[in-house]
Structure 1
Amino acid sequence: MVKKIAIIGGGIVGSTAAYYLARSGHTVTVFDHGVGQATRASAGIICPWFSLRRNKPWYFLVSKGAEFYHQFMQDLKDDGYNTDAIYQIDGTIMIRNTDKRVQKDLDQAEAKQEASPSIGEVKKLSTEDISDYLPLIESDHPATWVEGGGRVHGDALIDTLHQAIQDLGGKIIREKAQLKKESGDIYISTPSVAKHNFDRLLLSPGPGLTNLLEPLGYKVDIRAQKGQLFVLKHTDWIYQHWPVIMPPGQSDIIPFNNGEIIIGATHEDDQGDNLDVDEAVLHELRDEARKWMPSVDDHDIVESKVGTRAHTSDFSVLVGVVPDLDNVWAVSGLGSSGLTSGPFLGYQWAKLVETDAWDIDKEAFPIEKYIQANNAQ
């Protein structure tokens, strides 16, 4: 049965869900005014297996997300879309402060390899080995090499998904959407159309979830985290197939095969929805990157990007049915791991709409903890 699907938020979760639902023949409309979208302002490192976070539900999402990318890219290719600029696997180098930390990585890899075959080969690198993999990098510390580590270009991914959604008959409405209630029913209102109805609704607007639900009387535990990065580019860097570099700190070094190297991103918890580029913060990013890439000052910044990620107060993911709204779901709080877990979550919601079942354990993701309906109108 064809369903009328509405999705508010055209970032990685909403766009992936819309793509798969449109692919299955449903009537899909995505509402995305695009301001501050984290996905477009990001470059993601797909290498989640070595985090020290002990949050098992979070790890379930990111590990499944890393595996899902292979199916995701193949589906796009099968539909005729070029994914070369979106997702690249050239390995990841995690620079560590001690040999003991490298050994911990090796132990983790051995324990997780069966469930996560995408990890590939994992080995210790000496300081000399690191520069062999990426000549621009200098380090006095050992590192862990992860063969299956990849990278995602957020802008390229969203552009491709939005094109695919429309090619498959879906609509993207570039307007700010509001939720309204009438006679107990929820509908969507935009500046050009007063009332949009739907059979199923997914709310995936990042930090904007609060503004969507508060007018209906909900209290939402979501806050914005500002992220900034900058882009360097040189023709000598094209098609080098260099790995991602993850040093201590927030200045990850992410080379793409189009000749870009992306540096960042920041994690600023006190800026709210401020989307202004802060040159002082970018200067700090550059100072940090210089410790590992001394030539960073030899190249001009060709672009700076700013977006806002969504976080819950305990940095857990918010996912599930909005309390008291049986046909409305919400996904938010993915933080800086959104490019890893987002496609998997979007695909899972599409699967839920299609089959009434998904692989998300409701008990592991208690949405009532983050969206309280006590005052719902």
Structure 2
Amino acid sequence: MRVIVIGGGIVGAGAAYHLTRCGVSTTLVDRADRGQATAAGAGVIFPWPFPGMAAEVRDFRLKAAAHYPALMAELADDGQDPTGYEVVGGISVSTDDAAADGDREALLRLAAQPGYEGIGEVTRLERGGPARRFPVLREDYSGVMVAGMARLNGRQARAALLHAAEERALRRRRGDAELIGDGTRVIGVRVGAEELRADAVVVAAGAWSAELLRPFGVELPVHPVRGQILHLAMPGRGTADWPIVRVGDRGHYMVTFAPNRVVVGATREPEAGFDHRVTGGGLHHVLSEALETAPGLAEATVVETRVGFRPAGRDGLQLLGGIESLPGVVVATGLGAEGLTYGPYQGMVAAELAMGNASETDLTPFRPDRAAAV
């Protein structure tokens, strides 16, 4: 069997890895656009679903949560080091003690349910406790710490997946991909002057996925949401063992990487299109939020601002599955800001579908052509 994967982000890399592990002849095509979400993302991994989600969404996310440690173990067995994945714990901080108490109770209830074992220990931190673990934070924060939260270096994880796939004969092409059809189905991809035939094509091109299907009269309900993410360095400070921090009432987060990197963000700009600029307003927003939360960052060095175009489903749900009017294609995109969290599992599911296998979860809410079906 031959499968082509379009897109070299975390979803496409996950699909290619799974396909090659199953012995499928696989080619990955990527044009390396500026603003790929995987390269820009901050990598805060908390995959467990909260109450109130639809049953299909909950099931998908629980299976994705179980997939992460299994996938990382497979990559380690394949000799891939680093994988970019580290369990460091995470803290939700607040100045409202009653809110922190409520968060603790809710997380304890979740952690006691089947499928949520990976959350690990839940610890209530009194005022000043978060700052002892993340030393640049405000001293008046209390919070709740979850031991099982992880961080992911998206660039390292993608590289590990692709290197492991290449060792199983993955072929890679760089260029602009165009789907080829025979009037009834998709039969391959054109890259420049080269035509590549395949039994199935996985479209995992992130926010650019819609343009690939448009020539066939298919409008994917996905659009780019620009995120500006600031990278700081703390000279003379080691941040490798600092936990992830989320400010519960503002949606702001901070995640660290060795040796002294602190990543803060991010903007959410659905009207920006594919404008790759770092803007004054965006930078001001991110930096103001960071300094309000962590005044100790005032002396940090500004290293870079990364810009990523997160592929967002127009109804808030991802796009995953085949298209009834266009056999031969599997679409896997639309995870928005949660691409690094659910992308590896979404890639694996897309690979299974491309091989003609049924999904272990009900994908009906995620149908890429669901807008046309309404």
Provide the rounded CA distance (Å) in 2 between the counterparts of 1:110 and 1:258. 32
* Alignment partner, residue 5 of structure 2: 7
* Alignment partner, residue 268 of structure 2: 267
Do 1:123 and 1:146's aligned partners in 2 also have CA atoms closer than 8 Å?
yes
Q: Indicate yes or no: 2:15 matched with 1:17.
A: yes
Do 2:7 and 2:205's aligned partners in 1 also have CA atoms closer than 8 Å?
yes
* Alignment partner, residue 37 of structure 1: 36
- AA partner of residue 203 (structure 1): V
* Alignment partner, residue 317 of structure 2: 316
Rate the CA distance shift 1:31–1:191 in 2: closer, same or farther, 3 A: same
Provide the rounded CA distance (Å) in 1 between the counterparts of 2:32 and 2:52. 31
* Alignment partner, residue 87 of structure 2: 89
Rate the CA distance shift 1:83–1:63 in 2: closer, same or farther, 3 A: farther
- AA partner of residue 286 (structure 1): L
Provide the rounded CA distance (Å) in 1 between the counterparts of 2:318 and 2:105. 27
Q: Percent identity?
A: 28
* Alignment partner, residue 241 of structure 1: 241
- AA partner of residue 103 (structure 2): D
Q: Comparing 41-50 with 73-82, which one deviates more in the overlay?
A: 41-50
- AA partner of residue 102 (structure 1): A
* Alignment partner, residue 198 of structure 1: 198
Do 2:320 and 2:330's aligned partners in 1 also have CA atoms closer than 8 Å?
yes
Rate the CA distance shift 1:52–1:275 in 2: closer, same or farther, 3 A: farther
Secondary structure of 1:241's match?
A: coil
Provide the rounded CA distance (Å) in 1 between the counterparts of 2:49 and 2:330. 30
Per-residue deviation, residues 316-348 of structure 1 (Å, max 9, x unmatched): 111111122332111121011111111111122
Do 1:57 and 1:365's aligned partners in 2 also have CA atoms closer than 8 Å?
no
Matches within 5 A, 1:169-184: 169-184=169-184
* Alignment partner, residue 303 of structure 1: 304
* Alignment partner, residue 224 of structure 2: 224
**What is the number of equivalent residue pairs in this alignment?**
369
Do 1:15 and 1:162's aligned partners in 2 also have CA atoms closer than 8 Å?
yes
Secondary structure of 1:178's match?
A: strand
Rate the CA distance shift 1:282–1:115 in 2: closer, same or farther, 3 A: same
Rate the CA distance shift 1:175–1:81 in 2: closer, same or farther, 3 A: same
Secondary structure of 1:301's match?
A: strand
* Alignment partner, residue 330 of structure 1: 331
Rate the CA distance shift 1:364–1:13 in 2: closer, same or farther, 3 A: same
Structure 2 length as normaliser, TM-score?
0.91
Do 1:323 and 1:373's aligned partners in 2 also have CA atoms closer than 8 Å?
no
Write out the 4+ residue segments of structure 1 that deviate beyond 6 Å after TM superposition.
none
Provide the rounded CA distance (Å) in 1 between the counterparts of 2:312 and 2:366. 14
Q: Comparing 227-236 with 148-157, which one deviates more in the overlay?
A: 227-236
How far is 1:272 from its partner? 0.6
Per-residue deviation, residues 127-149 of structure 1 (Å, max 9, x unmatched): 21111111111153431110101
How far is 1:189 from its partner? 1.3
* Alignment partner, residue 357 of structure 1: 358
Secondary structure of 2:162's match?
A: helix
Provide the rounded CA distance (Å) in 1 between the counterparts of 2:52 and 2:337. 13
Do 1:180 and 1:216's aligned partners in 2 also have CA atoms closer than 8 Å?
no
How far is 1:296 from its partner? 1.9
Provide the rounded CA distance (Å) in 2 between the counterparts of 1:244 and 1:323. 42
* Alignment partner, residue 80 of structure 1: 79
Do 1:162 and 1:172's aligned partners in 2 also have CA atoms closer than 8 Å?
no
> Unaligned regions of 5+ residues in structure 2, if any?
none
RMSD: 2.2
How far is 1:55 from its partner? 4.4
Per-residue deviation, residues 290-310 of structure 1 (Å, max 9, x unmatched): 012112221221122111011
* Alignment partner, residue 290 of structure 2: 289
How far is 1:220 from its partner? 2.0
> Unaligned regions of 5+ residues in structure 1, if any?
none
Per-residue deviation, residues 117-164 of structure 1 (Å, max 9, x unmatched): 110011221121111111111153431110101111111112222222
- AA partner of residue 119 (structure 1): I
Structure 1 length as normaliser, TM-score?
0.91
Per-residue deviation, residues 173-198 of structure 1 (Å, max 9, x unmatched): 111101232343423111141x2110
* Alignment partner, residue 28 of structure 1: 26
- AA partner of residue 75 (structure 1): E
How far is 1:240 from its partner? 4.2
Secondary structure of 2:275's match?
A: coil
Provide the rounded CA distance (Å) in 2 between the counterparts of 1:104 and 1:13. 35
Provide the rounded CA distance (Å) in 1 between the counterparts of 2:352 and 2:160. 21
* Alignment partner, residue 133 of structure 1: 133
